[in-house]
Structure 1
Amino acid sequence: MAQAKSDSEARPRGRPPVRSDEETTRIVLEAARHTFAVEGYAATSTEELARRAGISTKTLYRLFPGKAALFEAMCADRLERLLSAVDLQGSDEVDIETGLRAALMACADLALDPEVVALQRMVLQESAAFPELAANFYNNGISRTVRALAGWLRIQVKRRRIAIDDAEEVAGMLIGMVASAPQRAAIYGGMPLPSRKQVERRVRTCAALFLDGCRAKLP
């Protein structure tokens, strides 16, 4: 009896603490990430998303006006987390080739991340029926990566390390050289993503190709 009383006293009383909208949003985005990846966009219902997140559909619609908005928020959140780890800050302490390799490697890590490639595959599969998915993925991921690398390139131009006219155009070309072929092979050909060593070798080749044509001439 005493033991039963002790157990009862140890058990928390009252309602469980209410989750904040911020925490609930994080749980919903995580549930959406897994569900969309497994089921695809079209086959995933808002009811299923709410169930997996452990909330009501009413709460889901309060946080996100619809499935498209939730998908956009999920992509933005995931890519934001990956982009936050990309450090493209220029440094005077390293030579241009070392710095460019590091910047391209950071972009390749993002573009060839298995989850990003899986998202891209799903977007391509669903884009005919849901064209807004492709636009959202492009705006939240691809174009932001290009802008980040373009910013790094502009710093190098100011330091007279390279000579280029359009940093964003060049950034898109460089990311295309580094990542487009492996992405296409994985998405369309079912090939495995390249290993770390293979990506590093590709980055070295791309950096050499670029710098041999664009290295700034010393006065």
Structure 2
Amino acid sequence: MVEIQIIEKRSRGRPQLRCDDDTRAVILEAAKAQFLENGYAAANISAIAQAAGVSTKTLYRLFPAKTDLFSSIISSKIGEFLLCLDDSVLAAMELEEGLRRILTSYGVLTLSQETIGITRLVLGESDRFQEIANTFYETAIVGTNAIMEKWLMAQCDKGLIKLEDPRTATGMLRGMMIMEPQRATMLGQQESPTRDEIRARAKICARLFLGGCRA
């Protein structure tokens, strides 16, 4: 009886194993910290595994290459952006309110200190690692552009706005929203904008844009 009690006590004290999804999330946070602190080239896989509390074998099972870690981090950031843009919620909003929501979410995504750091990394190391430039361009830039373009085209179909070239208009809208504060932050001339500052900028940009294309 005593032996059984000891065995039961030991088994209850063992740490529970994480599922793969949770382990991936922990690894990605550790990888993100490594990339932002040391850059892409100098990021150390063993250090990432140690920070995540996993073996390198487990890390490589879930992310076979460093590029997989980087692309997953970018995809995760875009996923956060998408969560803020539920189609049913946007459909229930007035035109300007919907555009403000999209621009605010886009500003929060692109103007955060974390995203600024990732952008610096890509610009600084893409000449040696074209794969990170490709991932960033296709997932972050083309991906967000497609989401915003789709919404603008839907407003055209409703007869609410008129755009000769929705894709070009989307690029101009994105630039109006983030270019000036992004450059100033990347060059160390200001801190990343606060959420309230991003909302205020989104409101101005939405009014200016719609003032030129409202049907």
- Interval containing the TM-score (normalised by the shorter chain): 0.7 to 0.9
> Partners of 1:29 and 1:19 in 2: how far apart?
14
> Partners of 1:93 and 1:64 in 2: how far apart?
40
Cα gap change, 1:131 to 1:175, in 2 (>3 Å) = same
| Bigger Rg, which one | 1
> Partners of 2:204 and 2:80 in 1: how far apart?
28
Question: CA offsets per residue over residues 125-166 of structure 1, 9 Å max, x none?
Answer: 222221221221122222221111111111111111100122
1:13 deviation in Å? 5.9
Q: Map 1:126-137; keep pairs closer than 5 Å.
A: 126-137=125-136
Q: Which moved more, 1:137-146 or 1:175-184?
A: 137-146
8 Å CA contact 2:78–2:144 kept in 1: the answer is: no
Which residue of structure 1 lines up, in the alignment, with residue 202 of structure 2?
203
Which residue of structure 2 lines up, in the alignment, with residue 22 of structure 1?
21
1:10 deviation in Å? 3.2
Which residue of structure 1 lines up, in the alignment, with residue 57 of structure 2?
58
Cα gap change, 1:190 to 1:128, in 2 (>3 Å) = farther
Q: Percent identity?
A: 39
Q: Which moved more, 1:27-36 or 1:11-20?
A: 11-20
Q: Is 1:214–2:208 an aligned residue pair? A: no
Q: Which moved more, 1:37-46 or 1:84-93?
A: 84-93
SS in 2 for 1:180: helix
Structure with the higher helix share, 1 or 2 = 2
TM-score by length of 1: 0.83
Q: Please, what is the CA RMSD of the aligned residues?
A: 2.6
8 Å CA contact 2:116–2:186 kept in 1: the answer is: yes
Which residue of structure 2 lines up, in the alignment, with residue 68 of structure 1?
67
8 Å CA contact 2:34–2:44 kept in 1: the answer is: no
Cα gap change, 1:202 to 1:6, in 2 (>3 Å) = same
Unaligned runs of 5+ in 1: none
Unaligned runs of 5+ in 2: none
Q: Which moved more, 1:41-50 or 1:56-65?
A: 56-65
